Amino acid sequence: MARAQNLDLAEAKAIQQRTDRARSLFVKRLYRADPSDPKWYHLVLDTTVFSAEQSVTVLADAARAYFTTLGGPELGLTS
């Protein structure tokens, strides 16, 4: 973000913290839910660990497994 917006690291960090805080408050107010609670997430993927291609594979496999469990053939999902 710092490089893309031509900001120094401190400025970029401050903007990111304000944005994160605003998004969190939005979810808390609108949904009355804590967005940091893991129960709201089916899958969390750290894309700094995987390449884009690996990330797509992990997500596609997870989606296929999830929807197959729900009745994939009825939803038109096949391997």
Name the DSSP class of 5.
Answer: T
Instruction: Spell out the residues 6+ positions from residue 31 whose beta carbon is closer than 8 angstroms to its own.
Output: none
Structural domains in the chain (count):
2
Same domain, 48 and 79: yes
| Residue span of the structural domain in which 54 resides | 42-79
Same domain, 30 and 50: no
Question: How much is the pLDDT for 71?
Answer: 61
User: Cα torsion at 13, 19, 24, 26 (round to 10°)?
Assistant: 170
- Full pLDDT tens readout for the chain, 79 residues: 667 788 889 998 999 999 999 999 999 999 999 999 988 888 899 999 999 999 999 999 998 888 887 765 555 555 5
